[in-house]
Chains A and B, each alone.
Chain A
Amino acid sequence: MFDFSIVTKWFDALLSQTLGLPSFWTILIECVLIGLLVLTAYALICIVLIFMERKVCAYFQCRVGPMRVGPWGIFQVFADVLKMLIKEIFTVDKSDKLLYAIAPFLVMIASVGTFSFLPWNKGMHILDFNVGIFLVTAISSIGVLGVFLAGWGSNNKYSVVSAMRAAVQMISYEVSLGLCLICAVILTGTMQMSGIIEAQTGPWKWLVIQGHIPAIIAFVVFLIAGNAEANRGPFDLGEAESELTAGYHTEYSGMGFGYYYLAEYLNLFVISGLASAVFLGGWAPLNVGITGFDNLMNIIPGFVWFFGKTFMLVWILMWVRWTFPRLRIDNLLKLEWKYLMPLMLIVLVLTTCCVAFGLTF
Chain B
Amino acid sequence: MENNKSYFGEIGAAIKTLATGMKVTLIEYFTPKITEQYPENRKTTLHVAQRHRGRLVFKRNEDESHNCVACTMCEKACPNDTIKITAHMEEDPETGRKKKKLDDYQYDLGDCMFCQLCVNACNFDAIEFTNDFENSVFDRTKLVCHLDKEVYKGGSLPNILDGGAPLTIGKFNTKTK
Contacts and interface: CB of A to CB of B under 8 A. Distances in A.
A63 B35 contact: yes
A217 to B, nearest CB: 12
Contact of B29 (A60, A320, A339): A60
A322 B35 CA distance: 19
Interface stretch (B20-28, B77-85, B98-106, B111-119): B20-28
A322 B174 CA distance: 27
* Interface size class of chain B, counting residues whose CB lies under 8 Å from the partner chain: 10 to 19
A323 B21 contact: yes
Given A59-B33, A62-B28, A62-B31, A67 B22 contact: no
Contacts, number: 34
A61 B172 contact: no
A340 to B, nearest CB: 11
A319 B7 CA distance: 27
A61 B174 CA distance: 20
Q: Which of B7, B24, B25 has the most CB of A within 10 A?
A: B25
A319 B174 contact: no
Contact of B33 (A63, A320, A323, A339): A63
A60 B22 CA distance: 10
A170 B33 CA distance: 37
Interface in B8-60: 11, 18, 21-22, 24-26, 28-29, 31, 33-35, 37
Interface string B155-177: 00000000000000000101000
Nearest to A315: B29
A65 to B, nearest CB: 9
Interface in A304-340: 319-320, 322-324, 338-339
Contacts of B21: 323-324
A60 B28 CA distance: 6
A64 interface: yes
Interface string B134-160: 000000000000000000000000000
Interface string A44-64: 000000000000100111111
Given A319-B22, A320-B22, A62 B34 contact: yes
Contact of A64 (B18, B29, B172): B172
A322 B25 contact: yes
A61 B11 contact: no
Given A60-B28, A319-B22, A319-B25, A67 B33 contact: no
A324 B18 contact: yes
B22 A61 contact: no
Main SS at interface, chain B? helix
Contact of B22 (A56, A59, A64, A323): A323
A324 to B, nearest CB: 6
Contacts of B172: 64, 67
Nearest to B23: A323
Given A64-B172, A320-B22, A59 B29 contact: yes
Nearest to B20: A323
* Interface size class of chain A, counting residues whose CB lies under 8 Å from the partner chain: 10 to 19
B28 A61 contact: yes
Contacts of A61: 28
B28 A339 contact: no
Contacts of B31: 62
A58 to B, nearest CB: 8
Q: Which of A62, A322, A338, A339 has the most CB of B within 10 A?
A: A62
Contact of B25 (A323, A338, A339): A323
B84 to A, nearest CB: 42
A56 B26 CA distance: 11
Given A62-B33, A319-B26, A67 B174 contact: yes
A36 B174 CA distance: 39
Interface of A: 56, 59-64, 67, 319-320, 322-324, 338-339
Interface of B: 7, 11, 18, 21-22, 24-26, 28-29, 31, 33-35, 37, 172, 174
Given A59-B33, A319-B22, 15 more contacts: A56-B29, A60-B29, A62-B33, A63-B33, A63-B35, A64-B33, A67-B37, A67-B172, A319-B25, A319-B26, A323-B24, A323-B25, A324-B18, A324-B21, A338-B7
25 contacts: A56-B29, A59-B28, A59-B29, A59-B33, A60-B25, A60-B29, A61-B28, A62-B33, A62-B34, A64-B35, A64-B172, A67-B37, A67-B172, A319-B22, A319-B25, A319-B26, A322-B25, A323-B21, A323-B22, A323-B24, A323-B25, A324-B18, A324-B21, A338-B7, A339-B11
